[in-house]
Structure 1
Amino acid sequence: MRDFLTWLRSALYMLGWAANTVLCAAGCMLALPLPYKVRYGVISYWCWFALRWLELTCGLKGRVIGRENLPRDAAVVMSKHQSAYETMALQRLLPLTAWVVKRELLWIPFFGWGLWSLRPIALNRSNRAEAGRQLIEQGKARLRDGAWIVIFPEGTRIAAGRRGKYKQGGARLACGTGAPVVPVAVNSGEYWPRNSFLKYPGEIVVSIGPAIPTVGKTADQVNREVSAWIEAEMARISGVGPCWPAGRQPAEVHGTVSA
């Protein structure tokens, strides 16, 4: 019975999410001739509704710790990525964002159209050299415009209890501009598993770490500092959700497993 209710609540969430996505994507397309902030406001509303609807239908809410660590000016945010939750939560937390995404996401009907209207940095990952050049070039321009660059350094969603390889693109961008890096840990995969339709009730923790200075450092140094903080924080906040691997302790998983 409990599994059926979880499925039913998840289905109700997806119905509301889909309707909201279609309406907001259409709103973004209609707002193309208008100032950019109008489209940004539509997407911010989309995120607000999606998070609120998630809480109402699935009983899944979020808690943010470390807000005081956000610097005053735009920075590079490097975040753990376990589900779609953090994409919406970070959009709501930050004043103006530019997302680093794979180009294929822009091809998804309605969702991709709305994402495109936000001026993301959409990378063609099949051409690594070109993707690296594009990230640095467009990332610098977005930072100059006051947008926070949000990047998932492991490149994709990682299942709860696992660790991917931290790529250096975000660290290179930060070092090249002198912008600080804000590390973010999140245990969303314990309630909204990777590639899963089901969403379980509980409280997701989004933990924002102290900004890491990049001036005078190499990209490798910054990347190691970022990964060390995120994985240590993951060990602290993990292991409480219903989808955590049975019989495993957070500390023994995060430091050793690579995806």
Structure 2
Amino acid sequence: MRIRAFFAWSYCALASCLGFLVCLMRPFNANNNCVNGWLFARGGRSCLGMRVDVEGREHLDFAGPRVVIANHQHNEDVFVLGDILPPRTVVVGKSSLRWLPLFGQMLWLGGNVLINRRHRGKAIAAIQATRKALTEQRKSIWIFPEGTRNHGGELLPFKKGAFHAAIAAGVPISMVCVSRYQGSAGHGANGNPVRVKILPPVATDGMSSNDVPQLMSACYEHMREAIAELNHYLPAPDAA
């Protein structure tokens, strides 16, 4: 398992080089992330021997912008989710990623929104950039609303940013739910495939900022129930 993980992350260095070149040839192109996500996911899964089963892919088949939220378990999420990134989608992540050699520059040239949560002024500017991407540039936004990795445990409480952005732009929210898997080796628990379920979108038409708590709570419960269903037939964490 460690050997597979070594090769997977070594491959990531190569994929970062290729992704950087793609972005350098067409900087800030709206579809750079789809190309690079495909590179990371397909190659990384091959190195790990990982299988991913996706249910409900049609719920990401859309023409207009929306906010996509997903549970965040491990760094290996890029292998699980990279190739289901919808067209014209940018990712909201932490600003420290920009300093990773090549990978960080690839993220920046992909037009992704990198937020410094410790600096209020920069965080507000990033939120404004997110709204601009949704409303003016007609891009979709991918956010991990937990704000950090849960390492395959219980779904962590959501932060409000994704829901404020969706309501402000009047766009729907799509929910991507991923079953528990072993991050240390990148495999599904006990060799089972990693299961992904994409839920039907939730509309935000007519909502205001006062509706954020209720919307956030509803999405949290939808995702928690779906993840529990995906995990039902997996071994207990100790057994894995």
TM-score bin (small chain): 0.7 to 0.9
Match of 1:199 among 174, 182, 186: 186
Aligned mates of 1:168, 1:213 — CA distance in 2: 16
Residue in structure 2 matched with residue 257 of structure 1 by the alignment: none
Deviations 1:74-98 (A, max 9, x none): 1011111112344452554301111
Residue in structure 2 matched with residue 67 of structure 1 by the alignment: 57
TM-score with structure 2 setting the length: 0.85
Residue in structure 1 matched with residue 228 of structure 2 by the alignment: 235
Alpha-carbon distance, 1:147 to partner: 1.1
Structure 1 unmatched ranges of 5 or more: 1-5, 249-259
Q: What amino acid maps onto 1:83 in structure 2?
A: H
Q: Which has the larger radius of gyration?
A: 1
Structure 2 unmatched ranges of 5 or more: none
CA RMSD of aligned residues (A): 2.4
8 Å Cα contact 2:42/2:83 also seen in 1 = no
Superposed, 1:1-259 pairs within 5 Å as 6-29=1-24, 31=25, 34=26, 36-37=28-29, 40-41=31-32, 43-70=33-60, 71-87=62-78, 89-90=81-82, 92-128=84-120, 130-131=122-123, 133-144=124-135, 145-187=137-179, 189-191=180-182, 193=183, 196=184, 198-200=185-187, 201-217=191-207, 218-240=211-233, 244-246=236-238
Aligned mates of 2:47, 2:122 — CA distance in 1: 42
CA 1:161–1:111 in 2, change beyond 3 Å: closer, same or farther? same
CA 1:234–1:110 in 2, change beyond 3 Å: closer, same or farther? same
8 Å Cα contact 2:176/2:196 also seen in 1 = yes
43-52 or 219-228: bigger deviation: 43-52
Alpha-carbon distance, 1:169 to partner: 0.7
Alpha-carbon distance, 1:226 to partner: 0.9
Residue aligned with 2:111, SS = coil
Deviations 1:106-156 (A, max 9, x none): 11111101001011111111024651x234411221113121111111101
8 Å Cα contact 2:70/2:177 also seen in 1 = yes
Residue aligned with 1:167, SS = coil
Runs of 4+ in 1 over 6 A off after TM superposition: none
8 Å Cα contact 2:175/2:199 also seen in 1 = yes
8 Å Cα contact 2:145/2:162 also seen in 1 = yes
TM-score with structure 1 setting the length: 0.79
Counting matched residue pairs gives: 231
